[in-house]
Amino acid sequence: MPLLHPALGADPARHAAPFLPAPFLPAACLSDEPGIIDLATLRDLTAAFAGVPEIWRPVIHHRPDRRWYTRLLLSATVEVWLIGWYPGQQTEVHDHGGALGAMTVAEGRVEEDRYDRNWTITRVRQHLTGSSVGFGAEHVHRVANRGQEVATTIHAYSPPELPMRFAPTQDGADVRAAAVPAPALATPAGRDVAAVGAAR
C-alpha cells in the first residue's frame, strides 16, 4: 500500500476538484510491486503536483535556518518530494543512486548545476516557475536558490529510496552514502524504509 502525505487525504469538500483523480496519479505510481516509472511519466507527475497548489501550498515551509522538505508519496515504484527553498539555500553535489528523476518548479526559480561522473561542473541551468526537467540514472547535480525570493519544487524518483552519493569533500574524504533518518511516516507492512538523503 503506498504512503500518502496527510495533505493528499484531506477532505475533498474543501477543494474545487477531486484530489487524486486517476490521470493525476497513474496506477503504476501507486503500485505495491517494484518497478520503474519512465521519465515522461515522472515529469508529468511532478508537473501535476505543482499544478495543484491546493495540495502543496498548505504544507510548504520556507525556513531561513535550513532547507525544508517532506515526502508526498512513496510506493514501490516512485517517491515524490516537496521542497521549500529560502534564498541562498542549496543541496550538496549529489547523484540519485541510479534512479530516474524529475523536478518541477511550483513557484519561484532555482538553478541547477550539472556535473559529470568525476564531480566536475559541466553546465548551469535556470528553472523558472512551471518548468519541468527529467534526468537519467547517471545524473549528478546541485540545486540552489540563488535568487532573492523563496522557491518551491516538486521532485520524483524511480525506483524510490536508493541511497545517494555525494561529491567528495575538499579534504579528499571518500564519497559517502546518505544516512539521514526517514521522515516519520508509517511503513507499509513487510517493507523496509531505507534512509533518505538530505540532498533530495
Q: Over the stretch 157-174, which tens digit does the pLDDT of each residue have? A: 999 989 889 998 765 544
Q: What is the pLDDT of residue 191?
A: 33
96 a known binding residue? Answer: yes
pTM assigned to the model: 0.79
155 a known binding residue? Answer: no
What number is the average pLDDT over the span 55-74?
95
User: How many CB atoms within 10 Å of residue 97?
Assistant: 17
User: Left if phi > 0, otherwise alpha if psi is -120 to 50, otherwise beta: which for 146?
Assistant: alpha
Which one of 2.60.120.10, 3.90.79.10, 3.40.50.300, 2.60.40.420 gives the CATH number of domain 36-158? 2.60.120.10
How many angstroms from the chain centroid is the CA of residue 151? 14
Q: What is the pLDDT of residue 170?
A: 65
5 a known binding residue? Answer: no
Separation CA 156–CA 200 (nearest Å) = 10
> 75 pLDDT band (50/70/90 cuts)?
very high
Looking up cell 550538496 gives 92
Cell of 120: 566536475
- Beta-carbon-side half-sphere exposure of residue 61 (alpha carbons within 13 Å): 8
